[in-house]
Amino acid sequence: MAICARTASALEEAAAHIHKTTGHKVFHGGPPSNMFKNTKPEDWRSAFDQLLMSNISFAKETLARMQKNKWGRLITITPSAVIAVDGGLVRSLL
């Protein structure tokens, strides 16, 4: 499960509550803040996997049902930082 919020403290609180209530692991982190020149190759791979590969996984998981129903739509939401570079966010440069 993945969640998002406007503040880190709200994320941590919600993640702890969900985990305590359901026992499910909750991803509640954001992208690392770093300047382009300081970004390591593994950070680029992680950002790539989180932004692009998560959409591919989503499509693969839903494709069979869409084919069975002969209809469907995939709707994904990407952070605005991908379009407008935001300071030191690694993902904004993808």
Distance from C-alpha of 13 to C-alpha of 93, rounded to nearest angstrom: 29
pLDDT in tens, the chain (94 residues): 677 777 778 888 988 999 999 998 887 776 666 777 888 888 888 877 877 888 888 899 899 999 999 999 988 877 665 555 555 655 554 5
Within the chain, residue ranges assigned H as helices are: 8-22, 41-48, 54-69
pTM: 0.49
Predicted pLDDT of residue 57:
86
